[in-house]
Structures are given as structure tokens and as C-alpha cells.
Structure 1
Amino acid sequence: MGILVLGGTLTACSGSGGTEQAAPPNAPGGGTASATPSAAPATHPFTGGRTGLRNPVLAVKIENTRMALPQSGVRSADIVYVEQVEGGETRLMAVYSSRLPSRVGPVRSARISDLHILPQFGRPAFAFSGVQSKMKKHIRKAPVYDISQDNGGRAYFRAGPKPIPYNLYADPRTLLKQAPKAEGPRDIGFRFGPAPEGGEPLRTFTAKWPSTQMSFTWSAKQKRWLSAHNGRTNTAAEGGVLGGRTIVVQYARTTRSAFHDFLGNYTPLIKTTGTGRALVLRDGKSYDARWSRPSEAEGTTFTTAAGEPMTFAPGQVWVLLVNDGKPRIP
């Protein structure tokens, strides 16, 4: 299946941890970001690191409300997207390639905004608990390997004291066995390296959505931003505090779609193509930036106010998709 570019008129629908392991190498037939099938990028395009350069890409939808905490496997992700969903809450899409945790979750359902984000990764494996019936046709057409709960078999399991639907987890290595041709990492626009000139010293930044917020506080000792969820430290199920070396606040137009949940709350549609403003946090500083993504098959580039590439600190990147300031959907 070729890459499907999802048009702008597409509407939306609606523990314990383990040891981290190296992700399995990509199976024959999987792609890489390189010019030839035998070559690999010098550094991982998602993290700037030197491991997992040929590993397949796996994206997993993870619950991000109070009932889901603490989450499993998030600390091992290369990229963590935070997306608005119904009722002004948020949900994560964690992207893995360079390493895998032993479990991820709680795994929750996909949204159409995911299918606008994912084409830049080629054809990754996509894990989620399910979708409403109106969205199934979009999943079938999307450039992803559908390894949802319906197709993932024994990769999914329920564990721990949380009630349904907050107790569904998955084994990433078993998930990837269901998508042996999932593509490897490709250039999605990120650039890693020394910090650019300038920047404003910053200790804490709080991103707000209609019904929730997340804060990130710089830790000079750990050299990363530590997160809090609605004022509470965001502890990982495996121990420690979730957070990243680089936090990208990407301001994107967020509108209501033609879909809604069973309570009548409209599903947001996040526009991640075009251009917009961003705030990039790294090394205890904030940088005003611009983002640009010409089409859904292409990556998202970030530039400084001076028009130079906005470099990220090597390591985990969080991308917070925040409404661009225009009227919010109800």
C-alpha cells in the first residue's frame, strides 16, 4: 500500500513496569529513511542517538487522564505526542523505535488526528484499543499496519487494579510480530545538536488544554524536563518521573470534527500541516520557533526566530499539540 495523504477535509472520530530492551531489527521488506535499502542514517532521526537505526517504528495510543496514572512504557518512547481529545482532555501517542519497554499502557482508542500525524513516519505499526465504526474505513486506508486489539492477539492483556478501560496493556515486541514489514525510522524534520544562540532561561512551563494541564520543570541534575499532570508529579510505572530532554509546544489549529463520543462531546481535529508558532524547551531555556509541514507525507521542521534550524537536545522529545489561540471547540 502506498502512502495516503489525508486531505484537509477529512473529519475525525472519535501496572507495573519492566526492563527496557533493544527493539528488534526491522524484518526484510521494511524501509528506512536512507537513500538505499542497505544504508542507515548516522544517527536516529527521532532522538539523535546511535542505537536502533534500522528498527521498525511502533506508535501506541496511551490514556493520559488521572485514572490511567502511572503509565507504563512512556519513558522508553523516542517521541511522545500529547493530543487533545473529547471533553478537553488529552491522550498520548508514544512512538518507539530505538528501544522498547516490556509493556505499554493503558492502551486506548485512536483518533483521526493520529492519521494526520502518522504519514510522515512512512508505514509504521499502529497499536490502539479500537475505534468507533465510522473511523474504521479511515484506518483501512491509512499508511499504517493496524495492530489494534482486534488484530494484536495475545499482545494485549489486562492487568492491575484499575477498572476497564484503564487496565489494557500490550507487549511491544509481540505487537511488532504482527507487523513484520513495518518501516524503519526516516527523517521527520527533527534536527539535533548544540543549542542555538539566545533563548530565555526558564524553570517551568505549563501547557493548558480546556480540561487539563501538564507542567514541565527543568532539572539541571537530570538534564531533562520533569513533568507534572494537573499539579501532581507524573511518575512512571517503572519508577522515576516522566519527562524529556526537549519539549516542543506546537501551536496548531484545533477545530471540532463531524464526530463525537457517546456523551455528545465533539472530537477535536488537530491541523498539523501548514505553518505555525512553537516554543522549544531545552537545556533550561525556551526558544521562540516556527514549525512547517508542507504535506502529511512530509516531516515537521522547526526554525528559530532568525530562520535557522532549531536544534533539539539528543534524547526523548515531547510534542505538545496545543490550540493556536483561536476560539476553542466546546
Structure 2
Amino acid sequence: MSVARSKTSAPSKTSARSKASVRSKPSVAALLTALLLILLAAGCTGGGGSEPESRSSSPSGTGADAKVLAVKIDNVAPARPQTGLERADIVYVEQVEAGLSRLLAVYSSDVPPVIGPVRSARETDLELLRQFDRPVLAFSGAQSRLLPVIERAPLDAVPPSAAPRAYFRGADRPAPHNLYLRPERIPYTASGTEAVEALGLRFGPAPPGGSAEDSRTVRFPSARTTFTWSAERERWLVAMDGSPARTSEGEPLGAATVIVQDVTVRPSDFGDRSGNNTPFTETVGSGTAHVLRDGKAYEARWARTAADADTRFSTPDGTRIDLAEGPLWIVYAAR
């Protein structure tokens, strides 16, 4: 993989009846005690109310307390433009089989009514998502040997088999590039907070220094992603394989901060039906990175000490790097 850059200057009730007979009248204290018990029993019932109905056919329903929703999204030409991608807090760009790219979009502050096209999960996603507190993962399926691994992972998996009413096929493009998710039909409610906070990151001013840069391209063997700075929009406009990326409404797709994270990409124990090996991206460890924000590039270091630890980004001298307000894109570049 190569990276190219360009620099510029710019309830219920119960009752009971005693069967025993008594010879004396009950005391006042006993009557008061009995009355108190009856009142307490009535207060513990639900008043005839019913339990709230689940929003999903998912058997567990545990995802309702999750902080983030992650959706695996297609990123080949027939899948574009994607729907709902512009409202993601974080977008990860990963390498998959045959050198192509796929996206993992993470939502928390704002969830659109439709997201997609949804595609299958990869082993890389499981390690990546350990940074979040038991997220919900929406995906179309997975390689059969990977499914038990997903079931054991500390996340709430919601494929179509778990929530069939949440997915539908669009008529505007061919399968498999036409599967969409309706998030309101799965057990997830947006927290209203930015997903970056779950990573221990925060928005703030840029660090001192940096070098002016107007574009950067990250190349996978069969895909490339380019980010070009737009001072007018205050965004890094995204291009996929040389074509400007747009929303389903035709607007330019952009990021406020882009992190190009240099990682190890190695073969995994899984593959696709065509015989291509599935690459595994190692996101635990440390290495170099470049942070793009405000029309500048900053040299950085990244470190993640364990799978359940956050990834920290800092300048070479150890100063934490904050993000520009807006969407964050993280591209995993093979070193």
C-alpha cells in the first residue's frame, strides 16, 4: 500500500383468606398490620400495565444499552453512493479480499433512518470494535467459520437472521449491493454523544506545527481513497477510486479529521468463496500515523496496548492530538 500526498500553503394483584378460626377479636395493632400488608402488596403491582414491546425480533434485545452502532458497508463501485454514511461519527476504511476496500461506519450522536448497502463482517472488525463498550454490529453475514467467533465476541450481532424486519432490498441496484438497514427496527437507541468519546478522543484545537497539505491518497492493491481539503466547506472531501464520493442526495462526502494509521495487514485463517484470503488488520500495537485537519498534516504516533484499550494518537513528543469538530475517518494503511 502506498500513500500519496500533496502540499500547499493553504403487574398483577393477589388475595388470601385464612381458614383458621379464632376465639378472640383481633387486636387493633393486628388489624393495622394486616391493612399495611395489603397496601404494600397493592403498591408492588404494575397497576395492570404491560411491558414495553421490543423494537426488534432480535432474541437478546441487549443492544438497547449499547453506546454505538457499527454497520459494515459496501464500498465497490456498484454500491455507491452509500446511504447514511455522511451521518456517521466515525468511518473506518479497511482492506478486504482481492485488495478492495470496505467501510465500517460507527454511529452514536445521530442515526439516519436508512443505512447501507450492508455487507458481511470480517475478523478485523471484531478486534477493532473491542475499543467500544459492547457495541451493536449490523452486517449481512459472514464466512461460516467466522460466525462462531462473532457469537463469542463482546458485541451484539444483528444480522438479517436476528432482525429480518430491519433489513430490506433496494430495487435501484443488483444484489448483493442493495441490502439496507432500518436502525429503528433493531435494539439500539442513539446516545446523543459523539462516538469518538468512547475511544477516549476529544474535539479541540489543532496542535502547533503541521505542514500545509491539500490532498492525500491511500492506496490498497485494488482500491484507493483520496482526501482533498476544501477551505470553503472546512472538510476533507472524499474520493473513491478516483471518483468524488457523494451522499445519496448528491452532496459531497467529507471528513473534518482524517487519520491515516500505519498498521500491519497480514493473511488470516479465513477466505472468500473465490479462494481469496481475507487480510487481517492488526489494530493492537503501536506505530506511526498522519492526522489531517484544517488543511494541514501532522506527524503522529498511535498506541493501543490491548484489545479492550483505546487507541491513543499523539504528536512525536507525546502531546495528545485533538480532532476538528465533525466526522472522523480512519484509514488503515499497510506499512
TM-score (norm 1): 0.79
Match runs of 1:60-75 below 5 Å:
60-75=71-86
Q: Match of 2:22?
A: none
Counterpart residue number, 2:175: 164
Match of 2:214, as an amino acid?
Answer: R
Match in the other structure for 2:325: 314
* Corresponding residue number in structure 1 for 2:243: 232
**Structure 2: segments with no counterpart, 5+ residues:** 1-54, 56-60
Aligned residue in 1 for 2:198:
187
Q: State the Cα deviation string for residues 151-192 of structure 1 (Å, max 9, x = none).
A: 1221100013211100100111212x3x5799x855313232
Structure 1 CA distance, aligned partners of 2:62 and 2:174?
Answer: 40
**Residue 288 of structure 2 is aligned to residue 266 of structure 1:** no
Shift of the 138–29 alpha-carbon distance from structure 1 to 2, 3 Å rule, reads closer
1:130 aligns with one of 141, 144, 157 = 141
1:107 maps to which of 118, 133, 141: 118
Does residue 97 in structure 1 map to residue 99 in structure 2? no
- Structure 1 residue runs without a partner (length 5+): 1-23, 32-54, 325-330
Identity %: 45
1:57 correspondence with 2:68:
yes
Q: How far apart are residue 306 of structure 1 and its match?
A: 2.1
Secondary structure of the 2:86 match is: helix
DSSP-derived class of the 2:160 partner: coil
CA contact (8 A) 2:304 2:310 kept: yes
Q: Which has the higher helix share?
A: 2
Q: Secondary structure at the match of 2:308?
A: coil
**Distance change in 2, residues 1:165/1:307 (3 Å):** same
User: Which runs of structure 2 are paired with 1:192-271 in the superposition (5 Å)?
Assistant: 192-271=203-282
CA displacement 1:235-286 (0-9 Å, x = unmatched): 1113311121000001110000121111111100100001011010000000
DSSP 3-state at the match of 2:159: coil
CA offsets, 1:101-135, max 9 Å, x none? 11111000000000001111110111000011101
For the residues of structure 1 that align with 2:318 and 2:64, how far apart are their CA atoms? 35
SS at 2:146 equivalent: helix
